[in-house]
Structure 1
């Protein structure tokens, strides 16, 4: 939504500003320049991908016009789910959650929070961590394992963002390519009257305009949006990691989820009293 609003503002500003300046719109309509710039830019973009990164980019396109859904409610539900798991571990022993982490789809704990449990990446993150602890009984390396997992998720998520940003950075150069070709055409018609020669030169400059606008007004914001999406999800997983790590170290369920609460970004962080009230109903 925010990206769409931003793009509308960008292109509306260009249209209104050019109209106020009494610009001639027919001059900006240069299909040849568009073909050169977008064709070269997209061609270079596809040529730089691997099968793996291209699949990631295709998958990430849905995030351009969506939101991670970060909210106080989402974090509260996650803390409540973790608190329920930790309480069961604390009262009945770690082995008591084996069935929950082995088959989360049939676990009454995970089923109680469908909005959270539908995130299979999160469920696997929690389940795999607790499964390792159940198997080894050693909390020493659990925190490092979660860090490795999170770095991998973050790095993978940033690949599409960087790919789109790199394409954005190439667009001004592609605009210069189109502009140079336009100048070549103008020089080939140097003997034409000034009004015709001026049209050729204006058409060439449109290439530079399109390249710069597509970089900073179109593809650049797309790359930044994807990067921000990944960063916001990283905050979410970090809060989960802090809570799980504390529980495995032996903290009480309440202290463990408090570690998680303290890792939540301030705009979404519930007050302790809010969290405590939610946990009572968990």
Structure 2
């Protein structure tokens, strides 16, 4: 689990609650069912209109990446690639077959299988790069869902505030209701702005960063497998791949 992300999420909620109290209001003032419906369900409605169901489903599945991000250890991957190169020099490409059976990452497994099958270096690169670009596009579309939610929610918050003020204007004859009505109207703005700037936009940025790291790891893998297919020396392969780390 990523403790920093968990702390950040909890801190965001605490800041809003504590800030409300320090400003002289009450925690109960933050709850307004109408504002909640307008902002949260309104944002959800906008996302449903914009995205296909499979994109939204993938976006939801990516939340786990934020709090339990995949481990990106380029040095470990380079060591594995150098080890595969040494195996091929001793046993030939067929010596990598046991590695395929124990590999949990489908992308790595596919690359090793192409290598064992005797694929030409450029053919291996072409096939894996198509997979890489497709996977990256799918993941970026999922991250874009959260970015768009961060764009829509403040606007929905303003809509909620305006609707609340419309209700207040209808009760101008009763001054006792004005204060409570105005306060409730601006709760929608708090919901929209807080949802965007404390959660949705940071989540989108974090996912894009993780996707970038994942892409870089796969680029290292592709370059390494192509180098093995070309018969390069293990030390040369390691030196070339270390450039990605630097």
How would you bin the TM-score normalised by the shorter chain? 0.7 to 0.9
Aligned ranges for residues 114-193 of structure 1 at < 5 Å? 117-124=103-110, 126-130=111-115, 134-135=118-119, 138-193=120-175
Contact 1:41 1:170 in 2 (8 A): yes
Aligned match for 2:18, one of 1, 7, 16: 16
**Over aligned residue pairs, what C-alpha RMSD do you find?**
2.3
Q: 1:128 to 1:159 in 2, by over 3 A?
A: farther
Q: 1:51 to 1:26 in 2, by over 3 A?
A: closer
Larger deviation, residues 172-181 vs 221-230: 221-230
User: 1:108-154: per-residue Cα shift (whole Å, max 9, x none)?
Assistant: xxx4xxxxx22233222x2254256x14xx33444344333222221
What corresponds to 2:243 in structure 1?
262
**Whole-Å Cα distance in 1 between the matches of residues 77 and 161 of structure 2?**
54
- Compute the displacement of 1:92 (Å): 4.3
What corresponds to 2:57 in structure 1?
55
Aligned match for 1:232, one of 198, 213, 231: 213
Q: 1:76 to 1:190 in 2, by over 3 A?
A: same
Q: 1:142 to 1:119 in 2, by over 3 A?
A: closer
What corresponds to 1:34 in structure 2?
36
**Whole-Å Cα distance in 2 between the matches of residues 159 and 6 of structure 1?**
24
Q: 1:80 to 1:236 in 2, by over 3 A?
A: same
What corresponds to 1:89 in structure 2?
88
What's the TM-score, normalizing by structure 1? 0.77
**Whole-Å Cα distance in 2 between the matches of residues 76 and 17 of structure 1?**
44
- Compute the displacement of 1:57 (Å): 2.1
**Whole-Å Cα distance in 2 between the matches of residues 173 and 23 of structure 1?**
24
What's the TM-score, normalizing by structure 2? 0.87
Larger deviation, residues 28-37 vs 11-20: 11-20
| Structure 1: tracts of 5 or more residues without a match | 106-110, 112-116, 267-282
- Compute the displacement of 1:247 (Å): 2.4
